[in-house]
């Protein structure tokens, strides 16, 4: 089954006329049109992931998406096709997003009301009219690290071992964060209901 057959909010994609490998080879040779087609094909999936990892902060998610595709452009000549292009891009996007997460320590701040006002302005959570809105909104309120584990494990299907490597934590910590995230999510969904 094509991975794009999953729940989709964008226009339903038609089968790719040119496969990823051919586009990747052309892009690696400097063909920016081919690279744009790669972007059009893969960015919706990546942006959905990044948007969640960034807590619904569209500006941050856009920055990470941009950074991912710039890095991918640089690294494409070294891409050996040992994995699918989509998998490679997915890994690159997650790694880029998590670098930002690791650099962010706002989670632990206690800065009073004025600071919180500023942080609230920065968060800038956009409205969304998709189904499952309550769940989506509750997901965005989770602490960044717990949210990342939940998104990668429960939505993206990663194993704890993989998450532990990416987030530089023990496997047990990944499991604990997942448990924490699920508990918080259930609580918040209950509160919202």
Partner 1 sequence: MNIHDDDHDDALAQRLRGLPSERVAPAAVWQRIAAELEQTPRFQQAPAAPALNAAAPRRMQRRWPRYGAAAVIVALIAGAGVLWLPQQPPAAVAVEESSLQHQANTITYQYRQAMATLPQQDVAAELQPALRELDESAGSIRSAIAQSPDAAFLLGQLQRTYALRLELTRKGVNPTGLST
Binding site for partner 1 (CB under 8 A): 4, 6-10, 30, 32, 35-36, 39-40, 43-45, 47-48, 51, 58-67, 69-71, 73-77, 96, 99-100, 102-106, 108-112, 114-115, 118-119, 121-122, 124, 130, 132, 135-136, 139, 150, 154-155, 179, 182, 185-186
Report the residue number, 77 or 172, with the smaller CB distance to partner 1.
77
Closest CA to 35 of 16, 47, 22: 22
Q: How far is the CB of 47 from partner 1 (least distance, A)?
A: 4
Q: How far is the C-alpha of 114 from the C-alpha of 33, rounded, in Å?
A: 47
What token pair was written down for 112? 């009073």
Burial degree of 10 (CB within 10 A; 0-12, 13-18, 19+): exposed
Can you state the percent helix, strand and coil of the chain, rounding each to 5? 70, 0, 30
Closest separation in Å from C-beta 76 to partner 1: 8
**Nearer CB in complex with partner 1: 164/184:** 184
Beta strands per DSSP E along the chain: none
* Shortest Å distance, C-beta 115 to partner 1: 5
Q: Nearest to residue 95, comparing CAs of 50, 55, 60?
A: 50
Closest separation between CB of residue 85 and partner 1, Å? 16
Q: Could you tell me the sign of the dihedral formed by the alpha carbons of 120, 124, 126, 127, in that order? A: positive
In residues, how long is the chain? 193
At its nearest, how many Å lie between partner 1 and the CB of residue 161? 18
Residue closer to partner 1 by CB (options 9, 83) is: 9
> Quick one: 22 or 155, whose CB is closer to partner 1?
155
> What is the closest distance, in whole angstroms, from the C-beta atom of residue 24 to partner 1 in the complex?
13
Evaluated on CA atoms 3, 7, 8, 12, the torsion sign reads: positive
CB 79 within 8 A of CB 148: no
Q: 50 or 164: whose CB is closer to partner 1?
A: 50
For partner 1, the closer of residues 19 and 29 by Cβ is: 29
């Amino acid at each position: 089954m094509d991975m794009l057959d999953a729940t989709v909010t964008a226009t339903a994609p038609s089968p790719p006329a040119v496969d990823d490998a051919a586009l990747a080879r052309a892009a690696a040779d400097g063909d920016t049109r081919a690279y744009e087609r790669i972007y059009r094909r893969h960015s919706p999936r990546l942006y959905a992931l990044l948007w969640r990892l960034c807590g619904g902060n569209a500006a941050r998610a856009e920055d990470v998406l941009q950074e991912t595709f710039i890095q991918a452009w640089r690294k494409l000549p070294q891409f050996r096709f040992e994995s699918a292009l989509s998998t490679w891009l997915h890994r690159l996007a997650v790694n880029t997003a998590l670098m930002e997460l690791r650099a962010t320590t706002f989670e632990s701040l206690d800065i009073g009301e004025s600071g919180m006002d500023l942080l609230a302005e920065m968060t800038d959570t956009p409205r969304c009219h998709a189904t499952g809105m309550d769940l989506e909104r509750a997901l965005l309120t989770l602490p960044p690290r717990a949210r990342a584990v939940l998104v990668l494990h429960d939505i993206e299907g990663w194993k704890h071992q993989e998450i532990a490597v990416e987030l530089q934590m023990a496997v047990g910590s990944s499991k604990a964060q997942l448990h924490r995230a699920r508990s918080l999510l259930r609580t918040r969904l209950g509160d919202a209901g």
